[in-house]
């Protein structure tokens, strides 16, 4: 690598007029080569020794700013390297030094990667050097054989059927090998099972239930909390803290990762002692030991990582612009807008968040941690805008599969064996948006039913919640009420209308309790009929003073919730098995909205109408959004069948962890 860096510096000195390695009066070729070699060596040493110290001194700078600042700091290190050269000091203008340093870092990163790929022994030696001391420490602390650890990877938004199809299409060779379906004839090491989400099929409810064992009273991704008199949003740090505290109290324990666990890139901590990139700790950023962005600084402490990731970030932005243009030229339908900040949000989710989380998980494995839970949001973000089965989303699945292969390689050199459990928090259902199909958003339909004026131009609902939460944690933005959510103002008797995928919620903030059907009809006689009879709406859930829970649908259908069952689902029949139980559970939540609205669903095509600007959506009932997956080693006891609800997934994972710690099982 030193030789390659020396040659790179010589080439750049010949190409760039403002970069010189020899004196103005000339010098011998030998002297020029020695100058380049010493300059490249000094630059490499400064990058290895000084750069991590600079990162530590810059902890208050947002991570994304630091990622861009790396170029200028690298340029400064290059100027220092040229200045301390004992043979002959080179010269470069500041802007040229930035370019030279970036190119040299990129070349060094590529060279190191090529050497590691081509020389397997060298790769193994480096990993063993990193893990040998930790391996001895883990064994000493254990006092004997080390029990297996767990790497729990959440592939955000990947549905069971999507993953199954990806295996059949050859998009995920690592998963295919684990399932024994790669054609090599090897026995399966893992089993793939579906699990059914709750009515609120979204990351906030699912991950809270999986990590903390309780997602009670989380009716959606966004809802109006009448007790707190505020809008709760799962990916808002202040809301995440409240939800995590409630879940721990309801479950009676701190979380899945309370024993030597690490939480990476999640909304919630799971009770882990090691936390990084976790949204729920962003609101406690001033407390010692709670640095939600520490993983970003650990990753960017290596300037080669920073340069590689920033260049990949730029490439992903260009890829999104190209794919968006192609979708417009091909006149694909359905389609949503992909301009504005979205290309940068996508690049953050598919490059920066992925690289940093994978780096942190690899470090946890080499440190021998007992359990690591990490969320990779790349697929979910792309599928929202490109469709869950589009070509763009398929490319992301390929890259996620390579992540599994990489971590599997790291496990070979970890101080303890690791079992890989891969799961999703929900799937996604395709379909044209409600606004695109019917020409108005849900909020306008509600206002019209209330007899309120409807604005000519509707405000668009924000999407891409997972990527935005990751960006918010990276930027370390202050916790502000409603920041970035474009939530409607709470004024008097006007309804608050919120959307979570194809699940809509209507609340009247001036009434301190959950309104009944009778109260709503007395205030707005046309509202419930307007909503129930709209062709884009499948059913409503309201509270009735006479019947308790009441399901409303088109043509005057009004069925008491208590009369519905799996054998007699009534208006919920198109939504498949488990729909009745999911609706009944949500009806018991104190913070269920005055009106819970689920969009239309076509059971033949699996399509829904999202109330947000998403052609791949999740959050309610209908289609593949409610069918997640759990990929687990065959050495572990099989999960229950059917596996229903995030809390049930938590119980399965907790049992596996406890049995492994106790030394039970294979």
Please tell me the predicted confidence (pLDDT) of residue 507.
97
One domain for residues 206 and 333 = yes
Note the pTM of the prediction, 2 decimals: 0.81
Please tell me the predicted confidence (pLDDT) of residue 56.
60
Number of domains the chain contains: 3
In this structure, is residue 63 part of a structural domain? yes
One domain for residues 304 and 375 = yes
d(CA 287, CA 291): 8
Reference 155, options 329, 357, 5; nearest CA is: 357
CATH code for the domain of 448:
3.30.1360
In this structure, is residue 476 part of a structural domain? no
One domain for residues 108 and 128 = no
Tokens of 135: 């391996």
- Give the DSSP letter of residue 2: H
Query: Would you mind telling me the total number of residues written for the chain in this entry?
Result: 666
Please tell me the predicted confidence (pLDDT) of residue 487.
44
CATH code for the domain of 645:
3.40.720.10
**Rounded alpha-carbon distances, angstroms, from residue 379 to 453, 469, 505:** 39, 15, 26
Please tell me the predicted confidence (pLDDT) of residue 338.
87
One domain for residues 387 and 247 = yes
Q: Report strand pairing: 91-92 vs 19-20.
A: antiparallel
- Give the DSSP letter of residue 644: B
Decide which of 97, 117, 137 is a domain's last residue.
Answer: 117
CA 145 to chain centre: 35
One domain for residues 113 and 183 = no
In this structure, is residue 236 part of a structural domain? yes
One domain for residues 631 and 607 = no
Q: Is 402 helix (H, G, I), strand (E, B) or coil?
A: helix
Please tell me the predicted confidence (pLDDT) of residue 580.
97
Q: Does the CA dihedral 104-110-116-118 come out positive or negative?
A: negative
Please tell me the predicted confidence (pLDDT) of residue 622.
97
One domain for residues 344 and 387 = yes
Please tell me the predicted confidence (pLDDT) of residue 470.
54
Residue whose entry in the numeric block shows the structure tokens 């006149």: 331
One domain for residues 108 and 129 = no
DSSP strand E in 447-567: where?
496-500, 503-507, 537-544, 548-553, 557-560
In this structure, is residue 468 part of a structural domain? no
In this structure, is residue 472 part of a structural domain? no
CB 392 within 8 A of CB 323: yes
Decide which of 99, 117, 135 is a domain's last residue.
Answer: 117
Residues in the chain, pLDDT under 50: 60, 114-124, 126-127, 144, 286-292, 458-462, 475-490, 664-666
d(CA 185, CA 414): 27
d(CA 291, CA 515): 41
d(CA 312, CA 347): 8
One domain for residues 381 and 342 = yes
One domain for residues 295 and 410 = yes
One domain for residues 546 and 581 = yes
In this structure, is residue 467 part of a structural domain? no
In this structure, is residue 207 part of a structural domain? yes
Domain that holds residue 153: 119-430+623-661
Angle (CA) 404-407-408 rounded to 5° is: 80
In this structure, is residue 473 part of a structural domain? no
One domain for residues 632 and 541 = no
Reference 82, options 155, 12, 168; nearest CA is: 12
């Amino acid at each position: 690598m030193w030789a390659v860096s020396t040659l790179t510096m010589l080439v750049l000195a010949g190409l760039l007029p403002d970069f010189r390695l020899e004196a103005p009066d000339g010098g011998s070729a030998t002297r020029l080569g020695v100058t380049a070699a010493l300059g490249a060596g000094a630059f490499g040493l400064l990058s290895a020794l000084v750069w991590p110290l600079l990162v530590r001194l810059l902890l208050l700078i947002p991570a994304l700013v630091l990622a861009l600042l790396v170029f200028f700091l690298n340029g400064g290190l290059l100027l220092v390297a040229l200045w301390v050269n004992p043979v002959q000091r080179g010269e470069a203008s500041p802007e040229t030094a930035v370019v030279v340093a970036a190119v040299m870092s990129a070349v060094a990163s590529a060279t190191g990667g090529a050497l590691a790929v081509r020389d397997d022994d060298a790769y193994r030696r480096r990993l063993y050097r990193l893990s040998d001391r930790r391996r001895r420490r883990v064994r000493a602390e254990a006092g004997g054989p080390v029990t297996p650890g767990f790497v729990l990877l959440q592939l955000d938004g990947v549905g069971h059927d999507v993953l199954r199809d990806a295996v059949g299409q050859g998009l995920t060779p690592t998963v295919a090998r684990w399932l024994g379906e790669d054609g090599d004839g090897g026995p399966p090491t893992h089993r793939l099972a579906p699990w059914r989400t709750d009515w609120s099929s979204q990351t906030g409810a699912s991950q809270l239930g999986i990590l903390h064992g309780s997602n009670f009273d989380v009716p959606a991704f966004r809802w109006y909390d009448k007790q707190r008199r505020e809008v709760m949003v799962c990916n808002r740090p202040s809301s995440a803290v409240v939800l995590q505290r409630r879940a721990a109290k309801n479950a009676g324990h701190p979380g899945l990762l309370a024993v030597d666990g690490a939480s990476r890139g999640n909304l919630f901590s799971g009770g882990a002692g090691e936390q990084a990139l976790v949204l729920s700790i962003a609101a406690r950023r001033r407390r010692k030991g709670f640095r939600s962005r520490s993983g970003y600084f650990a990753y960017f402490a290596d300037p080669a990582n920073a340069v590689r990731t920033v260049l990949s970030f730029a490439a992903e932005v260009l890829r999104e612009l190209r794919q968006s243009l192609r979708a417009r030229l091909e006149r694909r339908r359905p389609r949503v807008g992909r301009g504005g900040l979205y290309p940068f949000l996508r690049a953050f989710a598919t490059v920066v968040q992925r690289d940093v989380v994978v780096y942190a998980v690899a470090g946890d494995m080499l440190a021998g941690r007992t359990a690591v839970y990490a969320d990779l949001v790349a697929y979910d973000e792309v599928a929202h805008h490109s469709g869950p089965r589009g070509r763009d989303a398929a490319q992301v699945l390929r890259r996620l599969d390579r992540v599994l292969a990489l971590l599997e390689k790291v496990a070979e050199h970890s101080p303890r064996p690791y079992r890989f459990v891969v799961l999703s928090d929900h799937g996604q259902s395709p379909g044209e948006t409600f606004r695109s199909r019917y020409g108005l958003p849900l909020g306008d339909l509600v206002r019209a039913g209330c007899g309120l004026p409807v604005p000519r131009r509707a405000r668009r609902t924000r999407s891409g919640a997972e990527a935005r939460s990751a960006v918010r944690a990276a930027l370390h933005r202050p916790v502000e009420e409603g920041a970035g959510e474009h939530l409607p103002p709470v004024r008097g008797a006007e309804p608050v209308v919120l959307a979570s995928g194809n699940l809509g919620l209507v609340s009247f903030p001036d009434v301190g309790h959950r309104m009944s059907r009778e109260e709503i009809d007395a205030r707005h006689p046309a509202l419930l009929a307007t909503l129930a009879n709209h062709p884009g709406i499948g059913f409503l859930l309201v509270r009735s003073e006479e019947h308790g829970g009441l399901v409303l649908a088109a043509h005057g259908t009004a069925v008491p919730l208590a009369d519905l069952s799996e054998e007699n689902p009534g208006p919920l029949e198109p939504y498949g098995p488990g729909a009745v139980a999911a609706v009944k559970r949500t009806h018991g939540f104190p913070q269920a909205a005055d009106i819970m609205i689920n969009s239309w669903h076509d059971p033949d095509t699996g399509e829904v109408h999202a109330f947000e600007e998403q052609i791949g959506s999740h959050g309610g009932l209908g289609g593949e959004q409610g069918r997640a997956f759990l990929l687990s080693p065959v050495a572990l006891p099989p999960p229950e069948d059917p596996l229903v609800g995030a809390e049930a997934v938590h119980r399965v994972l907790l049992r596996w962890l406890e049995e492994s710690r106790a030394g039970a099982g294979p």
